[in-house]
Chain A
Amino acid sequence: AQSVTQLDSQVPVFEEAPVELRCNYSSSVSVYLFWYVQYPNQGLQLLLKYLSGSTLVESINGFEAEFNKSQTSFHLRKPSVHISDTAEYFCAVKTSYDKVIFGPGTSLSVIP
């Protein structure tokens, strides 16, 4: 069975500073990996995904994540955060035909 670990439950960071949100997964088969963001009182929105090919994937709002198969990681990074990035971030893993498993989430707080 698959599982996802997000080691940091809360990450405070100053505005315009870089940030990394860590995600590690466990699976015995090939996986698809996702990052989702959740703003207060809303559902989850897809931030970016790794399906195959290039191990570095980017989102339209400046986030990027790198798939590292040997370390079974899919860390999320942004070189310069904005106040509007304050939200809950979820890493997720899926295999073919199986359910999507989510990590416990990381609360990112951007400090002005």
Chain B
Amino acid sequence: KAGVTQTPRYLIKTRGQQVTLSCSPISGHRSVSWYQQTPGQGLQFLFEYFSETQRNKGNFPGRFSGRQFSNSRSEMNVSTLELGDSALYLCASSLGGRGRSPLHFGNGTRLTVT
């Protein structure tokens, strides 16, 4: 079974631009979560989608948004990029439900904002 796929792997953007990251979950997984990983803040939860609905949300500004499609694929968008948005963005999928199913992570998208 194929794992979680994130595209692109690397991205370089300029401050003020916007970016869209894509995540394809493991087949059969209905929940997709997004995390931001930086050396200073560690793993910070962005949001979780389950069956196309946002189920949980972290403490990030409205510039960070996401969505999930009917095939469970997910995208996250960051508008008006800031230098501090430079990070590794990780997507993780799980079966969903009541939470016993662990997260399965992709290899991430490394975003650099200049």
Interface of A toward B, CB cutoff 8 Å: 32, 34, 36, 41-46, 49, 51, 90, 92, 94-105
Contacts and interface: CB of A to CB of B under 8 A. Distances in A.
B90 interface: yes
Contacts, number: 55
B108 A94 contact: no
A97 B51 CA distance: 13
Interface of B: 4, 6, 33, 35, 42-43, 45, 48, 55-56, 58, 90, 92, 98-100, 102-108
Contacts of B43: 90, 102, 105
Contacts of A32: 99-100
B42 A42 contact: no
Chain B binding site: helix, strand, loop or mixed by DSSP?
strand
A98 to B, nearest CB: 7
Contacts of A104: 42
B108 A43 contact: yes
A89 B92 CA distance: 17
19 contacts: A41-B107, A42-B107, A42-B108, A43-B92, A43-B105, A43-B107, A43-B108, A44-B103, A46-B102, A46-B104, A92-B103, A98-B56, A99-B45, A99-B56, A100-B45, A102-B35, A104-B42, A105-B42, A105-B43
B99 A43 contact: no
Nearest to B103: A100
Contacts of B55: 97
Shortest Cβ-Cβ A-B pairs, 10 listed: A43-B105, A102-B43, A99-B56, A44-B105, A96-B98, A104-B42, A43-B107, A96-B99, A99-B45, A46-B102
A46 B103 contact: yes
Contacts of A34: 102-103
Given A42-B107, A43-B107, A46-B104, A95 B99 contact: yes
A98 B99 contact: yes
